Structure 1
Amino acid sequence: MAVINTIREKLGVLVLVFIGLAIGAFILADMFGPGSSFNAPDRTVGEIAGQEVSIDEFNLKVEELENQYQMRTGAPITEAQRAAIRNQAWEALIAEKAFRQQFNRLGIVVTDDEIVDMVQGNNISPEIQQAFTNPETGEFDRNQLLSYLQNIKSMPPQQQMQWYMFEQTLRPARARMKYDNLLLKSEYITTAEAQREHNSQNAVAEVRYLYIPYYSIGDSAVQVSDSELSQYLENNKSRYQAEASRSIKYVVFPVQASESDRETFNQELEQLRNDFAAANNDSTFAVRNTEAGPAFARYGLDQLPAQLQSNAGQLQEGQVYGPFDENGSTVLYKVSSITSDTVFRARASHILLRAGEGTTPEQKAEARKRAEGLLSQLRGGADFAQLARENSDDPSASRGGDLGWFAQGRMVEPFENAVFEKNEAGLVNRVVETNYGYHIIQVTEPKTNTVYKIARVQADMTPGDQTRNEAYRRAEIFAAEANGPEDFERLAKEQSLNVQEARGIGQNDRRVDNIFNARQLVMWAFANDTDQGEVSKVFELDDQYVVAVLTGQGKKGTAQLADVRDEVLAQVKNEKKAKQIKDKLASLNGSLDEMAQKYGSDANVYTASDVKPNVYTLSAVGYAPEVVGAAFGLNEGARSKPLETQQGVVIVETVNKTQPAEVADYGSVKEQLLQRRSSRTPYLISEAIKEKAEIEDERYKYF
C-alpha cells in the first residue's frame, strides 16, 4: 500500500508537470504561430511623420488613383504607368500624413459649409468652374453645374463614383491652400533687403584678374592617400548625403537564337508566306499574324515602305513581297489592291538660288543670270546632283537636291505647277521663280495618283525552349558554384563571362545599367536577408539570365567613400593643386601682369568691364561667386588675396566701381522680391515638411 501511495504521489506530480508543459506549449504556439504578432510578417511599406504606412493602406491609395486614371482616360494601365501611379500614391500619402500634423497644430480645418460653398456657393472651386464652362461664352455656367448635381443620383455608377472621388480631394486641397496662404502672409521684404537687391541689379565693376587653372598641374604631380580622402569626406559630410544604395557585380547569360532556331524560323516563315499569299482576307490575316507594327494601311507612292517604293512600278495585286529585314524583325508585305486617288504625287529635285524678301533688284538679276547659266549646263549634260550640292541654297543640297515624294498642294504654286504640268521624268526646261528665289527643277518621278492597300506581317525570330533551357542551365550552375565574390570572379574568368559592375543602385530603381526591367534584381539587393558578398539566384530579365553578387550596402546618410571616390579624389587633388599655386604666387610681387610673367605661361591676366553682383560668372573662369563678391568688397585699385574657385586660383583687382543712385521709393523692388520668394514658398514648405517628417520609404520590399 505504501508503494502504491508513493506511485500515486509521483504520478500526480508527473501529471501536473505534463499539463504545465502542454499549457506552455499551447501559449508559445499561440504567441509565435502564423497569426501571432510575435511572428507576423512585416507589412509596412514605410513611415511618414512617425506613422507607419501598411501595404494595405498603400495599395488602397494606388487602387484609388488607378480608378481615377481609368475613369479619366478609359485606357488600360501599362506597367510604366502603374509605376508612376505608385509614386503618386506615395506622394499623396506624404501630403496627407505629414501636412495633417501641421494643420492640426495650427488648428486649420475645413468645415462642411466650406465644402458646400466650394461646390455650389459663392466660392466655386476652380476645377469645378473649369469643368462647367460654357463653350460658347467661355464663362462658368452655374445652371449647368446645378443641373448636374440635381441629376447625379440617376447617372451611371461610374460617373457617380468619379464625382465622389473628386469631392474627396476638395477638403485636403482647401486645407493646404489655407496653410500656404498663412505662410505666404508671413513673407515680408525690408527696405535694407530691397536696397541690396537694387544694388545687385545695377552696380557695375571693371576688374582685372590673374587666373591659373588647376589643369595646369598634371594629376601625376599630386599624390593623395586614402586617409586624406576619408578625412575630406568626414569634413564635408553635408555635401555627400545619399539615400540607401546597393552595389553589385553581375554576369549575363544571353538567350540568343541558335542555328537550329533559325532553321525552324525559316521553315515557319516559308509556311507563313504561302498562307499569306493564299489568304482571301488580307487585312484579317495580317492582324491575326503580325507580331507588331501596322497590319494594314493605304499608301501613296510617297508613303510606301522603302522596300516597295524602289520597285513601285512592278508591284502586282495579290503578290507577297519579302521577307525584308526591318530593325531586326522580318517583314512580309502583300499588295491587297492598287487603285487611284484624287490627289496626285510626284518626286523632284531642285537647285535653289535664293532671291526672296530683302533682295535688291541687282541681286535678283544676278541670281537669275546664275540660274540660267546652271540650266544651260544641265541641258549640256551636266550632273544635276553635283550642281545641286555645289550651288543650291536649300538644305536639300546635301542630298543632291532631292525633295523626295510630295503630294499636290504642299509646294508653293509656281513650283508645284512646273512639276505637275510635266508628264514625264526629266528637266523642267525653264527657270521657275517663287517667293524664295529661282529654281532649276528636275522631275525624277512624274505625277501619279496611284494608291496601294498593303497588308503587313511582322515575324520575330525568338529562341526556342531548348536554347532557353541551355542558357538557364549554364546560369544556374554558375550561381550554384559561386559561393562568394572570389568564386564569382574566378568562374566568370574561366567561362569568359564579362563581369559588369553597377554602383549606387537606389531602392526604387527599376533599371540597372542597360537592363531595363531589373526590379526583381533590385528587390533582391535590398532584401533584409541579403548579405554583402551573397550570390543571387538566376534572374530572367529582358530575355537574358542574370546572376549577381552583392558588393556594397550604402546606408542612408553620408555616402560611402567607394561610391563617391572619383568626385572626392578630384576635389582633394584640386585642393592640393590650389596650395601649390598659392605657394608659388606668395613668392611673387609686382602688378598682375608682372606676376603672370614671373609665374609662367599657365598664368594669364584678363579684363572684365561689366561685372555685376548678381552674375556669378567670369568669361575665362566660369562660375566664380567668390571672385565676384571679392571684387565688390574691394576698394578701387585694391587687390584680393589668391582665391580658390571650382576651376582654378584667381587674384582679382578692382579697377573701378559704379554704385547705382539711391531711389526714393523701393516699393517696386520689394514687390519684385516678394513675388520671387512667394513663387517658391509652396515648394520650400513641402520640402521642409518632408524633411521634418523623417520619411522612411520601404516600398522596395514589395514593388
Structure 2
Amino acid sequence: MLALLRRKARSPVIQIAIVVIILVFIFWLPQMGGDGGPGTVAVVNDEPISTREFQRRYDDLLAQYRDQMGGVIPSELLEALGVREQVVNQLIQERLLLQSAGQTGLPVTRDEVRQAVHAMGEFSENGYFSLDVYRQTLAGARIGVQEFEGGLRTDLQRRKIVEHLVGFARVGEAEVRERFHRDHDQIRLSYLRLAVADFRAGISPTEEELNEYYQADAERYRGEARLRLDYLLFSPDGDSSLVVTEEQIAAYYRENHDLFNFPEQRRARHILIRSAAADSPELRENRREQLRGVLEQARAGRDFVELALLYSEDATATDGGDLGYFGRGEMVEPIEAAAFALRPGEISEVVETSFGFHLVKLEDIKSARQISLEEARQEIAQKLRAERGRQLAFARAGDVYEEVLTSGSLARGAEATGEKVRGTTLFKRSQPPAELARRQELVAAAFRLNQGELSSIVPTGDGGYAILFVPEREEPMIPPLAEIRARVAEDFINTRAREAARLAAEDTLAALTEGRELEAVAAELGQRVRQSGWFARATATTADLPSSVVEAGLRLSEKSPLPPRVQAADDHYYVIRLAERRPGDEGLFARWAEPIRAELLRAKQEALLDSWVKHLAGQADIRLTQGAF
C-alpha cells in the first residue's frame, strides 16, 4: 500500500478522464473469428473497434507498465505479458458492456455529461467551473470538446451499466458469519513430526546401488565452467594530487544547486479503513463512522500505534501505520495535505482517498535546509576529483586498449604502455579468486567470453575500468563417479532416508484412519506426540508450524479430523490430527463484520461482471482483423 500511495502521487499527468473499469482477463480471444476490415482490430456485433482506438489504449497501458516497472520494458516481457491481447480483450469487453447498456435502456443525458464536466476539479477556477479553463485544458491536451465529451458520455454509460449490474449483488448476515467463523474459529493440532535425519542410520549403499543411483541422475552432478583470466586494471585516480580550483567548486555548486537543497519532510502514521468507489453510500458511511470511533479513542489518549495494529486494514499496520518520512509530491494528495497541516503529535480528521478512509498522525518534522557552499566545499571537491579520476582512468584504458589491438596481444600491449598484466589460475564463477571476489562485474564479464577472446573496456564498480582476456576455458562436465563418490553416497543416503520417513508417516496416517490412537503409533516409532498452540486462519502466521501444515490443519473438522495425506516441510514429515476447535470470539465479530461484508460484496460484484461479460461474449459475433495488432 505504501509503495502504491507514493507511486500514485508521482504521476505528472492531470487525469481528465473517468477511470475505465477493467474486468477480469478472459482467455477467449484466440478462439474468435478473423475477418475484420482494414482500419479495425475487431468487429463486435457489426460495430468496429478502430486501430486508432486500440493504439491509444495500448499506449496508455504501456505507460502504466513503465511507471510500475520504473523505465523501459523489454519487448520479450511485453510479449510474455500479452499486452496487445489484453488491450484487445479490454476493448471488446467494454464494447459488449456498452452495447448491453443500450439494450437495457440506460441512456446518458446531456445534463449528466454537463454535470460530470462541471464536477471535475481540473476545470475549476476559484472553486467554480470555468469554461475558459475547460477549453484551454482540452486544447493543451490536443483533445476536441466533442471528442472529450463523447468519450465522457461513453465512460458514464459504462459506469451506469456496471453500477446496474453490481447492484444485484447482495451479502446476507449468514454469509458474513460463515466467513467470520472460517477466518477466526481457532484450532489446536496434535501431530507427529518425523525427521528425515532419524532414518539415516543403517543405510549403507553397495557399489552396485551407488552406480545405479549415479547413472539415473548423473546430470545433477554436472560441474561449473572454469576459466583462467588475464586482465589489466585502471583504477580511478581521485586522490588529493588532482587539483580542483575554487572556481570549479563554485560552478558545480551553482549548476547543481538543487542537490544541496533539502525540502521539508514529515514523518506520519496512518490508520486505513478500506472502502471502494463501488461500495454503497450506506456502506461507505458505515466505514467512515467506524473510523470516527477510532479517532475518538485516539484523541482520548489511546496509543495510535496500538490502534493501527487493531484497526488498520493496510500492510503498514504491523509497523503501527508508519509511512516514514516524505516530502511534498511523494504521497497521495489528501494524506500529504493532512500531514503538512498538522503539528507533531496531532491527529487529522477522517481523510478520504481512493483506498478508503484514513486517520493521519504527524510524528516529526525535518525542516527544509539549504547546505551552504562552505559546508559543501569538501564534498564537491571529492566529487570533482573522483570524476576527473574516472576520466583519466578511461583515457588510460583507451590508450592501452588501442596498443593491445595493434600488437595483437594483451601482454605485448601492456608491456608497451608500462602496464602490468594480472593473472589467475583456473576458477569457477561461484568461487572467484580473492582479488576478484569484490569485483563480481568483472567475473560476470569474464564468463561471457570464450577461450582466446578479448573483452572491450569493462567498467568496474569503483569507477575504474578493466581489459580482460581468457587464455583458457574449461566447459562444465560430469565428473566420474570415483571423483565424487562421497557426495553421491550422501545423496543416496538422504534419498533413502527421506523415502523411509515418508513411508513411516504414511503408515501412521493409515493406522489412524483405521481407528488407532496417535499416541500408541508414536510410541511404537519411538516418537512423541506434540501439541500446537491455538491458531485461526486470520492468525495463521503466528502458528509455530510450517505453512503447508497450517493450511492442512485449517481444512480439518470434527467430522474429518485427519487429512488425506501427510505433509512434508524442511526435511520433516508431519502427521496431524485435529485436537480441539473453538469458535471465534464474538467480540471480534463486531470489529470484522463490515470489512468481511465489503470483501464478500466486492467478490460477488466482480463475479457478476465476469459472468455477464462471458455471457455477452458467448452470444456475440466477434471477428478479429488478422495482423492488425
> TM over 0.5: same fold?
no
Q: Which has the higher strand share?
A: 1
With a CA cutoff of 8 Å and minimum separation of 6, indicate the structure with the bigger relative contact order: 2
TM-score (structure 2 length as normaliser): 0.40
TM-score (structure 1 length as normaliser): 0.37
Larger radius of gyration: 1
